[in-house]
Structures are given as structure tokens and as C-alpha cells.
A and B are shown apart, each in its own frame.
Chain A
């Protein structure tokens, strides 16, 4: 497995998103979050974007106030993960038309959907930005359509019963 978990954490140490691909118990999860936010938030700006953590490595990248962290195996390619994070952020950006932290706070479930299109079971499944955004768009469209349809049906029913 390439990626064991993904954590988004704000500079104040608030969780924005967590996704666990390997099995972790609730206790391990909260310990991981506590240890990593302590380790990562306290790092200086010019240092490596990697920290070693319990035999694995955590690659993080900071976007203004938000840290994107991914945990990988000890011998994996850190630079690649750094770019997967960037890739993810670029897709988020395209989807939210200029993403900001608030988008992720209030629409975290959308961020989850996008992450699911990008990474499945800890492996990068799609490396084309266009494919991911197109799929997300068609989902949106479909939802809108079904909403409209429901509305029209409701209208029809309302008219009939009037």
C-alpha cells in the first residue's frame, strides 16, 4: 500500500479531513493525529517536508494555513507523494474554483469525494486532473438533474391534487 493515511490539519491543530487506508484503531488514530500535529506544526519553514513516524514516513505540505499530510512506507518516493498532494490540491482548486480553507471546512464531504476519485485503497488511481474533474462535474450535473426532476414531479403532483 502506497498511502497509509491522509490528514488535513490546520495551523491551529484543528482537523479538517482524515482518511485511513490502513487499519488503525480509534486509539491509534488519535495518537497518530496528536503526535503528528505536534511534530509537523512545530517544524520550521525551511526544513524537509518529511518526518519519520513510527517506522513510516509522513510527507506534509503547507498551503497557507493548512497542512496536507500523507503517511507512506519508509522506502517510498517522498517527492512523488509531495506531488500527489499538490495534484490533489490542484484538483480541489479546480473543483472549488479557487479553493480556500473554508471550502474544505464546510464542504469536507466533497473533498472526500474528490480524494476517493484520486486515491483508492491507498494507491493513486487517476493522475489526470481532467478525468477527475469531469467525473465530479457529471456527478454534480446528475444530482442537479434529479433535483429538477423531483421538483417537476412534485409540481405535477401538486397541480393534480389541487
Chain B
């Protein structure tokens, strides 16, 4: 009945859909849609369009919009349609507006009134339609208009309405938590609703509420546990069963909630252990939904207060996932493992081979998930292997989003666990080289700081060794084409500071390199600025050392070019460089001291050198400076005023119906839209607004000054060298010289907690014995083995369990997971069924309809035993479809081309024996014929493009 109900569309519409189906390119499709839009625009504007016709226009608008085109010209007609009395039209109207309008669209205000009316309707289906629209359309502003009615509907006799009312309130809570905060008790009440659907829906808002504040709902733990128990014991009506699991979606939601409530709460967790182990025991690992529940159980166990028994059960379930051949399950297994190792890192060791299999799997999704796991289990002992792997992977991907993520993870791990500074610098170089434009600038600053500060100990030798190795590697890297800007900045800075330090390279060589950099990146002002300053430093050191500096021609050319640059910052640098060349040794030494990037600079915030200038100005009649606090004191009054205004604007719209006129109307008083009279006349309102938040001004200043200590100096690099910022240009010339005395490296002396921590970690790891081998064959050992003392105890003679090609050369050193019992265990576990198998293991309700018989029924005369036993549900299908093609005059949809597409793509799931049937029938009655039809149908663009005899193979994976 369903399908032909909707075939009442006009030929025009069918043609449209068909021609879009046949479109061979996106451009062709766009052309068709655009002409459709023109047609619709014309038609819709005609006077007196019949309502039925209008309904179809609206559906066509939905179609156009779905294809990504703008149908906004018709929105208003959809809105109008919601006013219609006919339910069918009204629903179409609501459907269209929910798809067209987002919650802040102007037209919503026109629908609110209709929604209010419909919520009061006697027909519960109308109320349902309105509630569905409420969930999508009502925004923060319009919530008050419908809220009382929704609350009333919570007690409606129809469960479908109670359920939707709960969902609507949930939506309100998401939009504006404050608007429903007084209604939370209603959610608790609905939890005890007689209807499982309402109860299940109530779990959604409760989940959100508990996420926000678990402590207020601890009293519900017992209720949730008992609900879960009842669900698991199949106390709910059979109709909630799904693939023979009792209400699995409700179970999963409950498990999510319990995980929140039990997190870090021993007492609450203790109430859950029994039910959790029950679920694990009953766990059905042959069906997908059973595994979904098991997975959620593992998540719950790893979140609540740990308990040995449930952890064991969770670990068992996880290892079943990991041993599965199914990619989905292995993915879930990796994820579950990531959760469990937070509690017990040793669990991972058992699965090292499975993890490495996943890491080397061609499936990108699985690979990335495995990297996520490795990221979680990184320690100082395996950091080198893991980060190297990550970088190798990072180099080969194009997905910017993921590249950024993995780059920042590499950086984080390297900063946290680097075994040596040398390794750290090498790693950072690789990250910068391949993903430099994607990493945070902070990382670059950290790297420069590390090189400048060295080990922080009084081990100058090691420090200078580190620096010269950095310089060496950078000089090499500079030969590479296309380096990211951030990386070039680092390189320039390091070369400027330390390029000539060890005497291996001559000043002119370094300067030449820096000129090359500036020349090669003519469009990158920041890099040019870094290069110029670096050149200036080299000159300064040379002059200070009393050596004669000859000016290279390319350097002179660069200076000339920059002196005429459009960037004032670059100009200034060029002039400063020229000025520096003219200074004598002593002046240069104090302007640019050698290796002083770590020295503190004193900044006198009162700027005393300006006092004479200020004094002069005052004498000339300038107005004295008014301090921040005085200014904010003045503006207080204004703030009160603006708050007043704000409150008034709070009463924006009223949705109640207007009162009936009374003899003495008291109505005008409360509405009070007129702004209150200004208490204080303010000449310039923008001024008042500017300083409106007075408490903020001093506090932001404080923050600023605090930042100067730690943060701001980090950014100092940019301030000083980057594009001229407001603050740097505002600084007077004398202050800029005071900065210059420390090489413009002011950012480097701030010891952020981050760096301190990173450095500590560096020391820690340096002390540890690094016994990691980067060789691929020892990957497992290096990922898992080094940390485990158990490793050595195990016999090392085992071969790997899996004989698959990828693992054959796994070394004998990977001993841990391979216990002798494992192979037998493995064989005893039956392979889980393919997830994509649509076969529904619910034989009792399913009519046994052979999909191929249906197919034949469609294509030709029905076979002899044409499903006489098929139930009412599936029985009428074939005649219906045939009738469709014969009855309805849609000549363009010629039967031959569309029939194969009508192949019941779902039918298989009805058939518990589907798999066997297909295997016997796989050859098909007439493959040649069906192939032809398939080819025809493909032209229509709606059929699978697989070989027809294999049409159903897709279903069985």
C-alpha cells in the first residue's frame, strides 16, 4: 500500500526525477535543476493554484533543495501550507519547513502561531506533526511561546505525544538550558512512564543533564540499574526486541548513563557490577547489535570505578573483538583497548600482534584508530618508534584535517617523551618539513626556546653541540624546495643566533644562505623579516669579534630592496641593519650581545624616559591623562543605563494572544517598549559603549601584564619580527632600542610551565635506558615489550600465531601474546558473521520469501511456486509493482529499464535462509538476460552497477 500511495505525483515530477537520474555529470544535473527552479517559480506564483498541486510543488522544492540548490523563493509557500486544515497538506508543509528553515530563520515567527494552534488540536496526529516541527524550529526566542503547552502534553494519554513532548523539552534544554531548568523533575517523572518508548526517550535528556552534572543524579543509579536489569531480562514488550535482543538501544543508552554516574564514584559503581557482569555473561557476540551492547559495556566498565571481575570480562570481550576477522569489530576492539589500558596498561601486551596487524592494515580507518591507540600508550620507552611511524604515515596523506591532528600529536608526544634533544630536534624538523603550515606557531617557538636554552644545566659543551647539529641540519634542509613558512622562520632564527657559533661556517656563507631564503620567499614578509634580523645578528657578532665584514652584493641588493619595501617593518629592519654596520664595536656589543636570547630584559612600565615629553606637552596646554580606573568610574552610570536597555530588549516578543478589549485597558503599562529616559545625558553614545565593561578593562590589563611575564614574550617573536602590530608601532623609538639590546629574543626567557615540564620529561627519559630498536621486525617488541618484565620470562621460541603474509617475518622476540593455548582457542571460536549480512536471525516472524523469486516475478511470468506462503506483508508486493507499471501512465519510465531497479533491495533480510538460497540460486535463471536489463537500468542511474548475477552478493558481503 505504501508505494502506490505516493505515486500520485504528476508526470512532470516523475520526469524531473528521471532526468536527474540520467544526468551524467554534475553540470548537467545543475542545468536540469535550474530550469526546474524557473518552472516552479513561475507556477507557484500563479493565482489560485489548487492545494493538491501546491503540495506537489512544495515536494519538488524539497527535492531541489536536497540537491543543494536554493529554493528560498518558495519557503513562504511551505509556511502557508502549514496553516492548511488538511492533515496531509499540513504535514507536507511542516516537513518542508523543517527541512528548509534553520532555527534562526525569520519565517519561523510566522509558524509559531500555527504550531500553538496545532498543539491544542484534538487529533493526536496533528499534535504529533506539530511536535516534530517544534523539535526542529523553535529557537531560544520562541521557546516561551510553546513551553506551557509542551509541558501540558507530557501528561497526554497518547504515548506517542508524551514521547515527542519529552524530546521537544530535551531540544529546548539543548538550545537554552535555562529555559527548562525548572522542569527537570518532569524528566525524572517520565522515567517511570508506563510506555517503554517514553521511558527510552526520557533517557536522552537525562543523559545530557547527567553529562553536565552527574552529582545531582546519583539517586537515580538504582533506578537505572533496575531498568537495565528488567530490560536485559526481557521484561519489555516483544515489539522492542531487535534481532532477538531485548530493547538494545535502550540498554546502550542506559549503559552510557551509568558510565557517567559511576565515573570516579566507588559507591555508585558497586551497584552496577552485578548487572554489568550479567550483560557480559549473556553477551551475544554473534550479532552486530550484541557486539554493540558488549562494546558499550566495555566503555562503561572502563569509565566507572574499576572492579577486577568486570575488567576481566571487558578484557575478554575486547580480545574477542580484536581476534575477529571483521574490520568493524577489530576497530571497536582497538577503541576498547584504548579505553582499558587507561586502567590497566598490561592488557595491551596480550594483543600486540593484533594491534600491529591493524596498524599495517590497508584500511585507513583502522590504521588511524590504531594510531590513536598508540598515541594513548606512548611512553618514553616507545616514543621513538611510535612517532617515527606517525610521521611516516603523516607524510603520505593528503587529508589536511587529519594531517594537522597527527602532526600536533607527534609534536605533543615528542615534547613530552623525547629521549634526547637531538632526537627532538630531528623529529621536529621532519614535522615542520612535511606539515609545517599545519602546526601551531607555539610549536616553533618551543623549538627555538629549546635550542636557545639547551639543557638548562651548566653543560655548555652539550648545548653547543646540540646547536651546531641543529645548524648543520638546517643548512642541509635549506636545500629542499618548498619549505613551510614557520619552519623557515625557525631556521632563520637559529642560523642568526648560532650559525657562526662553532666556527665551521663562515659569516658570509651563512649570510649568503639567508639572502637566498629572503630572495626565494619574496612574498612572505615574515620570513624576510626573520632573515633580515638574522643577517643583522651575524654582522653584529662579526663586528663585535673585531672581524672585518665584507658586504656581499646579494646582501646589499636585499637591503636596498627592503629599504623600499611597502612593509614598514621590513623597511625598519633594513635601516637598522644599515645603521648597525656603521656603529663601533662597543655600541654593537651592547645593541646585539652575543647569544643573549635567554637574558631577561627589564621593562619599566612607567616609561620614565617619556616624562619630560609629557611635561612639555602639559605645559603647552595638553589635557592630562586620565587613568583607567577614573575612566571606568565615570562610565559606571552609563553602564547602568545600558543594562537597563538590555533588560528592556529582553522583552522582545510576546506570543500570547492579545487580550480582549476591556472597558479600562491596563494593557499598555507592562509592555513598555519605549526605552527609559536617559538618566544621564551622554554626548557620545559610542564612547559609552566603548568603555562599557569597566570591570573588564582593568582585568584584561592585569591579564596583559601577567602575560608579559610568560605568554606574551612567546609571541614576542612575532611582535618584534612579524608584521608591524599596533603595539609595536606605538612603542617609541627608545623603547625599541631597549628591546634590541637583547637581540629581539625577548620571547625566549619566559619559562612557561609547558616547557619546564617538557624539559623535566626530557631529563627523565634521558636517564632511562633506551633499548628501543626502530627496526620494523621488532616493532611489536618496541611498542609493547620494552616496558614489560614479563617479556623476558616467556619462552622466546614461539612463532607468530597468524600465518598471514603480513606477519610471517615477525621476529621471535615478540613473545608476549603467544601462549601455547592460543591457537586451539582460536580455532574453537566460530567466525562471527559478516556485519553486512542482512539476514535477520528472527525466523519466527519472517515470511520465507525468496528474493530471486520476487525478482523473477518482476521480470517475467511468476514461477510455479510463487510464494503462496508469503505473509500479508510481502505477498501483494509483486502484483502491486506490476500494476504500477501498467496502471499508471508514465510512459517514460519504460518497464524494461526500471524493472531491475525495482529489485527489492531489502527482501533478503526477510529471509532467514537467504544466504543458502542465494548460494544455490547464485547462477540465476538467465544471467544473460538480466545483465542486459541491468545495463539498461544503469542508464537510468538508479541501479547498482555490479554484475547482475552478483546483485545479491553485495548483501552478503
Contact = CB atoms under 8 A, between A and B. Distances in A.
A79 B289 contact: yes
B70 A26 contact: yes
Contacts, number: 259
A106 B197 contact: no
A79 B873 contact: no
Given A23-B102, A109-B6, A97 B63 contact: no
A55 B401 contact: yes
Given A82-B288, A82-B292, A113 B907 contact: no
Contacts of B68: 15, 26, 29-30, 33
Nearest to B58: A109
Given A83-B292, A97-B876, A125-B167, A140 B906 contact: no
Interface in A51-74: 51-52, 54-55, 61-66
Contacts of B873: 94, 97
B901 A49 contact: no
Given A52-B365, A101-B905, A146-B88, A127 B200 contact: yes
A100 interface: yes
Interface in B19-61: 20-21, 59
Contacts of A84: 249
Interface string B172-196: 0010000000000000000000001
Contacts of A140: 1-2, 5
Contacts of A126: 163, 197, 200-201
A113 B328 contact: no
Nearest to A90: B909
Contacts of A156: none
A77 B836 contact: no
Given A51-B365, A77-B292, A125 B163 contact: yes
A138 B125 contact: yes
A79 B901 CA distance: 29
A107 interface: yes
A120 B129 CA distance: 12
Contact of B174 (A14, A19, A121, A129): A121
Interface string A80-105: 10111011011011111111111101
Contacts of A125: 163-164, 167, 197, 200-201, 204
Contacts of B135: 120-121
A102 B901 contact: yes
B115 to A, nearest CB: 15
A123 interface: yes
A140 B4 CA distance: 12
A97 B102 CA distance: 33
Nearest to A47: B363
A131 interface: yes
A36 B430 CA distance: 30
A12 B9 CA distance: 25
Given A11-B945, A94-B873, A99 B904 contact: yes
Contacts of B957: 45-46
A26 B295 CA distance: 35
A107 B368 contact: no
A1 interface: yes
Nearest to A81: B292
Contacts of A89: 906, 909
Contact of B877 (A77, A97, A110, A116): A97
A52 B368 contact: yes
A139 interface: yes
Contacts of B237: 128
B66 A15 contact: yes
Interface string A23-52: 100100110010000000000111111111
A87 B905 CA distance: 15
A126 B603 CA distance: 66
Given A50-B365, A77-B292, A113-B95, A97 B299 contact: no
Contacts of B7: 106-107
Nearest to A89: B906
Contact of B67 (A15, A99, A131, A150): A15
B21 A105 contact: yes
Interface stretch (B240-248, B387-395, B492-500, B644-652): B240-248
Contacts of A49: 327-328, 835-836
Contacts of B405: 55
A99 B910 CA distance: 11
Contact of A139 (B91, B249, B332): B91
A65 B942 contact: yes
Given A106-B9, A130-B239, A48 B288 contact: no
Most buried by B among A12, A29, A94, A102: A102
Contacts of A143: 87-88
A142 interface: yes
Nearest to B901: A102
B3 A107 contact: yes
Nearest to B938: A12
A63 to B, nearest CB: 5
Contacts of A105: 17, 21, 942
B402 interface: yes
A18 B906 contact: no
A82 B904 CA distance: 21
B332 A79 contact: yes
A36 B905 CA distance: 23
Most buried by B among A48, A78, A140, A143: A48
Contacts of B877: 97-98
B447 interface: no
A130 to B, nearest CB: 4
B366 interface: yes
B898 interface: yes
B769 to A, nearest CB: 36
A150 B134 CA distance: 29
A116 B200 CA distance: 16
A38 to B, nearest CB: 11
Interface string A120-160: 11011111111100010011101100110010000000000
Contacts of B20: 14
B136 interface: yes
B365 A116 contact: no
A70 to B, nearest CB: 14
A49 B21 CA distance: 26
B588 to A, nearest CB: 51
B3 A96 contact: yes
Contacts of B86: 146, 150
B901 A101 contact: yes
Q: List 9 A-B pairs, minimum CB-CB distance, nearest first.
A: A79-B292, A65-B944, A107-B6, A130-B239, A64-B905, A127-B249, A93-B906, A98-B904, A47-B363
29 contacts: A12-B941, A14-B941, A26-B68, A45-B957, A47-B327, A47-B362, A48-B331, A50-B365, A63-B838, A65-B942, A65-B943, A77-B299, A79-B289, A79-B332, A83-B243, A86-B838, A93-B906, A98-B874, A100-B904, A102-B898, A108-B62, A108-B66, A112-B99, A121-B136, A121-B167, A125-B167, A126-B200, A128-B197, A131-B239
Interface of A: 1-2, 10-12, 14-15, 17-19, 23, 26, 29-30, 33, 44-52, 54-55, 61-66, 77-80, 82-84, 86-87, 89-90, 92-103, 105-110, 112-113, 116, 120-121, 123-131, 135, 138-140, 142-143, 146-147, 150
Interface of B: 1-3, 5-7, 9, 14, 17, 20-21, 59, 62-63, 66-68, 70, 86-88, 91-92, 95, 98-99, 102-103, 123, 125, 128, 132, 135-136, 160, 163-164, 167, 170-171, 174, 196-197, 200-201, 204, 237, 239-240, 242-243, 247-250, 252, 256, 288-289, 291-292, 295-296, 299, 327-328, 331-332, 362-366, 368, 401-402, 405, 835-836, 838, 840, 854, 873-874, 876-877, 880, 898, 901-907, 909-910, 941-945, 951-952, 954-955, 957
Given A79-B295, A80-B289, A83-B248, 13 more contacts: A12-B941, A55-B405, A64-B952, A77-B296, A97-B2, A100-B902, A102-B942, A110-B2, A116-B132, A123-B167, A127-B200, A135-B128, A138-B125
